Amino acid sequence: MRIGTMIGDAVERLPFIDEPIRRMRTFCRTRKQRRSITNAARQHAVYAEWAREHDTPTASDLVIMRQSSRSWSHEPLISVVMPVFNTAPQILEEAIQSVRDQAYECWELCIADDVSTAPHVRTILERHAATDPRIKVCYRTSRGNISRASNSALELATGEFAALVDHDDILPPQALYWVAEAINRHPDAALLYSDEDKIDDHGRRFHPYFKCDFNHELLLAQNMVSHLGVYRRDLIVALGGFRPEYDGSQDHDLALRVVAAAGRNRVVHIPRVLYHWRAMPGSTAVSMDEKQYCVDAARRAVSAHLVQVGRDGTVEPVAEAPGFHRVRHRLPVDHPLVSIVICTRDHGHLLKTAVDSIMSRTTYPRYDITIVDNGSCDIATLRTLTDLAQRSPITVIRDDSPFNYSKLNNAAVGRTHGEVVCLLNDDIEVVSPDWLEEMVSLAILPDVGAVGARLWYPDGTLQHGGVIIGIGGVANHAHPRLPKGHGGYVGRAVLHQELSAVTGACLVVRRKAFDEVGGLEERLAVAFNDVDFCLRLRAAGYRNIWTPYAELVHHESVSRGADDSPEKLARFHGEVRFMHERWNHVLDHDPYYSPHLSTRAADFTLGFTPTTALKRGVA
Please indicate, yes or no, if residue 171 is contained in any of the structural domains: yes
CB neighbours of residue 261 within 10 Å: 14
Q: Which residues contact 17 (CB under 8 A, 6 or more apart)?
A: 11, 41, 44, 45
User: Are 412 and 493 members of one domain?
Assistant: yes
Q: For residues 204-216, give the mean pLDDT.
A: 96
User: Are 345 and 369 members of one domain?
Assistant: yes
Checking if the pLDDT of 617 tops 60, the result is no
CA distances from 360 to 300, 354, 365, 576 (A): 36, 10, 12, 39
Please indicate, yes or no, if residue 363 is contained in any of the structural domains: yes
How far apart (Å, rounded) are the C-alpha atoms in residues 572 and 474? 12
Q: For residues 179-189, give the mean pLDDT.
A: 97
Please indicate, yes or no, if residue 311 is contained in any of the structural domains: no
Helix locations, 239-290, DSSP H? 250-262
CA distances from 359 to 355, 431, 556 (A): 6, 12, 21
How far apart (Å, rounded) are the C-alpha atoms in residues 272 and 209? 10
User: Are 398 and 523 members of one domain?
Assistant: yes
Checking if the pLDDT of 24 tops 70, the result is no
3-state secondary structure of 277: strand
User: Are 42 and 80 members of one domain?
Assistant: no
CATH number of the domain encompassing residue 372: 3.90.550.10
The C-alpha R_g of the chain, in whole angstroms, comes to 27
User: Are 98 and 82 members of one domain?
Assistant: yes
The pLDDT tens digits of the residues spanning 393-441 come to 999 999 999 999 999 999 999 999 999 999 999 999 999 999 999 999 9
Q: For residues 169-177, give the mean pLDDT.
A: 98
Read off the pTM.
Answer: 0.90
Element (H, E) at 60: helix 59-70
The pLDDT tens digits of the residues spanning 115-140 come to 999 999 999 999 999 999 999 999 99
User: Are 214 and 88 members of one domain?
Assistant: yes
User: Are 70 and 191 members of one domain?
Assistant: yes
User: Are 132 and 230 members of one domain?
Assistant: yes
Please indicate, yes or no, if residue 579 is contained in any of the structural domains: yes
So what's the pLDDT on residue 34?
52
User: Are 374 and 491 members of one domain?
Assistant: yes
The pLDDT tens digits of the residues spanning 303-355 come to 999 999 999 999 999 999 999 999 999 999 999 999 999 999 999 999 999 99
So what's the pLDDT on residue 566?
83
Element (H, E) at 218: helix 216-221
Question: Which of 252, 275, 284 shows the shortest CA–CA distance to 196?
Answer: 275
Please indicate, yes or no, if residue 34 is contained in any of the structural domains: yes
Q: Which residues contact 222 (CB under 8 A, 6 or more apart)?
A: 324, 325, 490, 491, 495
**Domain boundary residue, one of 232, 262, 278:** 278
Give the CA angle between residues 286, 230, 234 to the nearest 5°.
135
Q: Which amino acid is at 71?
A: S
Checking if the pLDDT of 55 tops 90, the result is yes
Please indicate, yes or no, if residue 50 is contained in any of the structural domains: yes
Checking if the pLDDT of 557 tops 70, the result is no
User: Are 429 and 573 members of one domain?
Assistant: yes
So what's the pLDDT on residue 602?
86
Q: For residues 36-53, give the mean pLDDT.
A: 79
User: Are 547 and 524 members of one domain?
Assistant: yes
Checking if the pLDDT of 4 tops 50, the result is no
Checking if the pLDDT of 616 tops 60, the result is no
3-state secondary structure 333-387: CCCCCEEEEEEECCCHHHHHHHHHHHHHHCCCCCEEEEEEECCCCCHHHHHHHHH
Q: For residues 482-491, give the mean pLDDT.
A: 94
3-state secondary structure 495-546: CCEECCECCCCEEEEEHHHHHHCCCCCCCCCCCCHHHHHHHHHHHCCCEEEE
Checking if the pLDDT of 25 tops 60, the result is no
Residue 545 φ then ψ, to 5°: -125, 135
**pLDDT over 70 for what percent of the chain?**
89
Please indicate, yes or no, if residue 319 is contained in any of the structural domains: no
The pLDDT tens digits of the residues spanning 435-482 come to 999 999 999 999 999 999 999 999 999 999 999 999 988 999 999 999
Name the domain count of the chain.
3
Q: For residues 74-86, give the mean pLDDT.
A: 98
Binning pLDDT at 50, 70 and 90, where does residue 30 land? low
Checking if the pLDDT of 230 tops 50, the result is yes
User: Are 135 and 19 members of one domain?
Assistant: no
Checking if the pLDDT of 516 tops 80, the result is yes
Question: Domain residues for 114?
Answer: 59-278
Element (H, E) at 395: strand 394-398
So what's the pLDDT on residue 36?
52
Binning pLDDT at 50, 70 and 90, where does residue 39 land? low
Please indicate, yes or no, if residue 180 is contained in any of the structural domains: yes
